[in-house]
Structure 1
Amino acid sequence: MKTTSNIIAGSLTSLVALLVSVAAMAQTPSKVDPVPPKLEKLEEISNEPGVTVAKPEPKNKVVEKRSSGGKVTEAQVKAGKSNYTVKANPEYGNAPKGTVQGDSNRAAQWTILEFGGKKEAKEGNPPDVLAPAPAKQAPASSAVSK
């Protein structure tokens, strides 16, 4: 009985190995083209006076300040119209990472009350200026009492 099961197991193993090798051979390409495809040359852009090609300016700008040891201490970020500063947390003593003292985040500091800088004056009529207010007259009772 043991010999029959050993024979069946051996024949199944060899059959599986044969099927795997046939499947591997079926996946390999049969024809390899030795000549690469012919490439076409693209047209070059001429340097005409009206045509300029430039990279667009990045929308986000990050300026980092580093300490003498090379650690980033502060990063100023300009993203569109928003400006904010992110500062690193100072390391207190030997607080290991993962503890409350050693792993806290510091919030970003937003730059406020800066509204776009200088405004352009519109050409045309200057704005109307109001006449000065008339001077107040002293009450009559104070002049009579003297």
Structure 2
Amino acid sequence: MSSGWTALIAGHARHGQVHEALGCFHRLRSEGLSPDAVTYACALKACGIIQDVDLGKQIHDEIASQRSLEKNVVLGNALVYVYANCGVFWKPQQVLEELPNRDVISWTALIAVYAQQGQGQEALNCFHCMRSEGFFPDAVTYACILKACGIM
């Protein structure tokens, strides 16, 4: 039963105990249990916090091989987060483009990455793409866009 492990991983990740979270993730897998979308998302968050791009990529490959990105936009959002936090700034755009289902959170995560990196024009381009796909910005999106405008 992986739900107990998922709760442990989520709890550790939520409280900044990322090494413990990833330790639980590895134990879950060593016991032959299959992570679910929540487990993967929590493990990816932990990878982003400690900037472990290698484990993040390994999890990404596992998720992709299971075709889980087609079913769960949260995993795509988590991948955008992990690659951005690990400094692989070209990868979040690629992940977003490959997602069959995007949402305002997906777009906002990418906009935030560009704004944080001082790439205001790229952030605005993403904002326009988001709007052209029919998504409406939320307060966080607007905050990121304002930051991008301030940069420019």
TM-score normalised by the chain length of structure 2 = 0.15
TM-score normalised by the chain length of structure 1 = 0.15
Structure with higher helix content: 2
